[in-house]
Structures are given as structure tokens and as C-alpha cells.
């Protein structure tokens, strides 16, 4: 959520996705923001009593898209075709793009190109009212959680790329606290609802184990 970010918070990679005011999802978003404001990230991800899981996942998925959008927006000048010719998270993990529709066979591409494809694809999913209904009474599709899991799995890859390839720039921009808080919130959420398989988290497993499981502050540097 935007309160996590400082003077650079208006710099986004893609247009921000807004939840319409007056909707129940907007109320849920406000609840999430208030809980996050307390500083208790574990409490902030818990499904509020009496609320629908799909709606809660939808609101948080939109929020994470916006957070990652802003974070990546701060380092786009450093993530170029030259500096990042492949989409990777360390030499051990490389990602090839496919969306199963327009690009069915995975293609190797630069990090900025991959992330552009990824964020455009996520944006299209979030804007599709048949997948992410914003009106009260309109049901979510039966496979909604599967859709959300795919979105969150792919958004994680942007975190992984930033940490492995651009953390020095993040430090230079004084954005490390924002990145770490956002990532910690993201991991608490996907763990709470089992949204991402453990193998998909492997590129940042050391960070997750050291900083989250042992409850050590995420304010330090990533090695």
C-alpha cells in the first residue's frame, strides 16, 4: 500500500490498479491498510472474521500488484536490455515468458521485457470483471484461487529479480526498508493461504528462512 513508500511513491511502472470506492472490496482494502498501519504484518494478512476468502485474496492481490509496481518503478533505469539481458534471480534461476494464450511456447527475453509482459498480463487479469468482480453479488469464478496463485507466483519473480540483481541500487535509493517490508508482507500472505509452492520460492529461500522464520528484522541487507 502506498503509505509504505516515501517521496518516490508516485513513480510507478504501470498504471496503478484502483479498487472502486463504495464497494465491499474497498472497505476490505481500508481494513487491511489500518491493520498494516499497526505494524503487525502477520495479523494484517489474516482473513477478517466473517469475510469471504476470495474477496480477501482479490484485494490483497491488487495491493501486491501496486506495491511491486511502485518498487520496480524506482529501479527501471537500472534494469535494462544491457544490464539484464535475461530474466533471472541469480545465475541459478532463469525465467522464460509464456502466458498460455498469446505466448504459448516459453520465450527467453530480457528482464525489462519479461517484467513488462508479466505486469501487463497481471493488469489484464485484474481488469477482467469475470475473474476479479468488483460489484457486490457478482460471484468469483470457481477457479479463482488457482488464478490468484498464478498471479502471485509470477509477482514473486519480480521481487526475486530485484533482490538478486538490483539490491545495490535499492540501497542507493534508500528503498531497502520499503522493499523488505513489502516482501515480508507478501511472504506472510502467501504462507497464510498456501498460495505459492515452496519450490517457486527457492530463489529467495535463504532470505525467507533467515528473516522470516527466525523472526529477524528484514531491515538488513540481502546477501
Cell numbers standing for residue 131: 475473474
79 is known to lie in a ligand binding site: yes
Instruction: Tell which residue, 37, 36, 60, 41, has the closest CA to residue 149.
Output: 60
- Cα dist. 122→5, 99, 109, 215 in Å? 22, 10, 18, 31
Confidence grade of residue 192 (pLDDT, cut at 50, 70, 90): very high
> Is 92 in contact with 199 (CB distance < 8 Å)?
no
Superfamily for domain range 2-213: MOB kinase activator (1.20.140.30)
136-178 pLDDT, tens digit per residue, is: 778 999 999 999 999 999 999 999 999 999 999 999 999 998 8
67-85 pLDDT, tens digit per residue, is: 999 999 999 999 999 999 9
31 is known to lie in a ligand binding site: no
pTM of the model: 0.83
Instruction: Tell which residue, 76, 109, 14, 1, has the closest CA to residue 45.
Output: 1
Q: Regarding predicted confidence, which is higher, 94 or 36?
A: 94
Where are the chain's structural domains?
2-213
Q: Is 87 helix (H, G, I), strand (E, B) or coil?
A: strand
Residue 6 reports pLDDT greater than 50: no
164 is known to lie in a ligand binding site: no
109 is known to lie in a ligand binding site: no
Amino acid at each position: 500500500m502506498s503509505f509504505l513508500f516515501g517521496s518516490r511513491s508516485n513513480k510507478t511502472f504501470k498504471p496503478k490498479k484502483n479498487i472502486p470506492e463504495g464497494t465491499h472490496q474497498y472497505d476490505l482494502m481500508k481494513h487491511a491498510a489500518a491493520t498494516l498501519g499497526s505494524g503487525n504484518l502477520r495479523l494484517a494478512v489474516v482473513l477478517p472474521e466473517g469475510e469471504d476468502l476470495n474477496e480477501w485474496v482479490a484485494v490483497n492481490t491488487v495491493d501486491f500488484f501496486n506495491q511491486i509496481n511502485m518498487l520496480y518503478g524506482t529501479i527501471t533505469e537500472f534494469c535494462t536490455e544491457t544490464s539484464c539481458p535475461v530474466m533471472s534471480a541469480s545465475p541459478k534461476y532463469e525465467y522464460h515468458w509464456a502466458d498460455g494464450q498469446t505466448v504459448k511456447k516459453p520465450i527467453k527475453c530480457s528482464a525489462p521485457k519479461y517484467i513488462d509482459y508479466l505486469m501487463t498480463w497481471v493488469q489484464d487479469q485484474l481488469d477482467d470483471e469475470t475473474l476479479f468482480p468488483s460489484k457486490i453479488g457478482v460471484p468469483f469464478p470457481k477457479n479463482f484461487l488457482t488464478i490468484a496463485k498464478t498471479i502471485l507466483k509470477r509477482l514473486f519473480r519480480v521481487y526475486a529479480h530485484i533482490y538478486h540483481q538490483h539490491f545495490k541500487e535499492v540501497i542507493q535509493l534508500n528503498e531497502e526498508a520499503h522493499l523488505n517490508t513489502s516482501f515480508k508482507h507478501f511472504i506472510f500472505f502467501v504462507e497464510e493461504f498456501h498460495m505459492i509452492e515452496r519450490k517457486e520460492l527457492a530463489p529467495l529461500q535463504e532470505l525467507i528462512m533467515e528473516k522470516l522464520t527466525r523472526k529477524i528484522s528484514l531491515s538488513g541487507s540481502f546477501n
